[in-house]
Amino acid sequence: MNPHRDEFIIRFSPPTHAPLWLQRGAVLSEHLTIDNSPLLFGCRTGICATCLIAVLAQENGELLPPADDEKELLEIVAPADAKARLACQIELCADLTIHYYGK
């Protein structure tokens, strides 16, 4: 975690949308929309996996590891992918490059 930064950048791969700057601690599901990102969100609580992403790169900090509930769902929807996360469960504390698995 980088305690000296207040904002972090989210980049998308492929770069279908412009990068976004968000405040430290921002929950991605509260700030990403159909207009500013390729991600879709269903339940926004970590039980539907609509927002399944791969975190391709982290810079200037480290994300907190997934909570137990998120880990359980990731074992079902992306069992062999150590980079898989649910975007709705990420509190921003690093620059990220992410890939959305959805359409």
Containing domain of residue 89, as a range? 7-100
Q: Is residue 91 part of a domain?
A: yes
For 69-90, give one letter per residue: b (16+ CB within 10 A) or e: ebeebbeeebeeeeebbbbbbb
Q: Is residue 66 part of a domain?
A: yes
**Global confidence as pTM:** 0.90
User: What's the pLDDT score for residue 5?
Assistant: 82
Closest by CA to 47, choosing from 82, 25, 91, 77, is 77
We report the CATH number of the domain holding residue 34 as 3.10.20.30
What's the structural domain count of the chain? 1
Q: Is residue 1 part of a domain?
A: no
User: What's the pLDDT score for residue 103?
Assistant: 62
Could you give the CA distance from residue 72 to residue 11 in angstroms, rounded to a whole number?
A: 26
User: What's the pLDDT score for residue 53?
Assistant: 96
Query: Which parts of the chain have pLDDT scores under 70?
Result: 1-3, 103
Peptide bond into 14 cis (omega under 30): yes
- Which residue type, as a one-letter code, is found at position 12? F
Written as six digits, the tokens of 48 are 């539907």
Written as six digits, the tokens of 20 are 């976004």
- Cα 20 to chain center, whole Å? 12
**Host H or E run for residue 75:** helix 68-77
User: What's the pLDDT score for residue 102?
Assistant: 80
